Amino acid sequence: MQAALSQFVEDAKQVTVGESIRTQHGRDMGYYTPESPDVVVFAHSKEEVSRILKFANEERIPVIPCGVLTSLEGHVIPINGGISLDLTHMNQVLEVRPRDFLVRVQPGVTRTQLNRALKPYGLQFPLDPGADATLGGMAATNASGTTAVRYGVMRSQVLDLEVVLANGSTIHTGGLSVKSSAGYNLTGLFIGSEGTLGVITELVLRVYAIPESTVAARAIFPGLSEASDAAYNIMNSGISMGRIELVDEYTIDAVNRAKGTSYTTQPTLFLEFHGSEAAVQADVAVTKEVCEEAGAADFVFETQEDARNLLWDARHDAALAVIQTAPQKKMKVTDVCVPLSELPQAIRAARETIDAYGIYGAILGHVGDGNYHVIFMVNPEDAEEMRVAEEVNHRIVQYALERGGTCTGEHGVGIGKIPYLAQEHEDTLPWMKSIKQMFDPNGILNPGKLFTQQE
Chain positions 272 to 301 lying near its own copies, rule: CB under 8 A, are 275-279, 281-283, 286
Candidate ranges 189-197, 261-269, 306-314, 355-363; the one touching its own copies (CB under 8 A): 189-197
Min dist. Cβ of residue 449 to its own copies (A): 11
Measured from the CB atom, the residue of 155 and 329 that comes closer to its own copies is 155
- HSE-CB at 144 with a 13 A cutoff on CA atoms is 28
Q: Applying CB under 8 A, which of residues 203, 244, 400, 444 lies at the interface with its own copies? A: 400
**Per rule CB under 8 A, is residue 452 in the interface with its own copies?**
no
Exposure b/e, 212-247, CB count within 10 A at least 16 = b: ebbbbbbbbbeebbbbbbbbbbbbeeebebbbbbbb
**Per rule CB under 8 A, is residue 427 in the interface with its own copies?**
yes
- 288 φ, ψ (degrees, to nearest 5): -60, -45
Binding residues among 321-380 for its own copies as defined by CB under 8 A: 337-342, 369-371
d(CA 5, CA 137): 23
Min dist. Cβ of residue 261 to its own copies (A): 30
Candidate ranges 7-15, 18-26, 39-47, 396-404; the one touching its own copies (CB under 8 A): 396-404
d(CA 174, CA 203): 10
Measured from the CB atom, the residue of 15 and 338 that comes closer to its own copies is 338
Measured from the CB atom, the residue of 141 and 251 that comes closer to its own copies is 141
**Per rule CB under 8 A, is residue 184 in the interface with its own copies?**
yes
Q: Applying CB under 8 A, which of residues 34, 152, 168, 295 lies at the interface with its own copies? A: 152
Q: Applying CB under 8 A, which of residues 209, 297, 300, 307 lies at the interface with its own copies? A: 209
Measured from the CB atom, the residue of 341 and 454 that comes closer to its own copies is 341
| DSSP secondary structure, 152-213, as one string | --GGGTEEEEEEE-TTS-EEE---SSS---SSS-HHHHHTTSTTSS-EEEEEEEE-EEPPSE
**Per rule CB under 8 A, is residue 100 in the interface with its own copies?**
yes
| DSSP secondary structure, 43-94, as one string | --SHHHHHHHHHHHHHHT--EEEESS---SSSTT--BTB-EEEE-TT---EE
**What count of other Cβ atoms lies within 10 Å of the Cβ of residue 114?**
23
Q: Applying CB under 8 A, which of residues 20, 260, 328, 438 lies at the interface with its own copies? A: 438
Residues in the chain: 455
- HSE-CB at 24 with a 13 A cutoff on CA atoms is 14
**Per rule CB under 8 A, is residue 225 in the interface with its own copies?**
no
Candidate ranges 1-9, 28-36, 238-246, 251-259; the one touching its own copies (CB under 8 A): 238-246
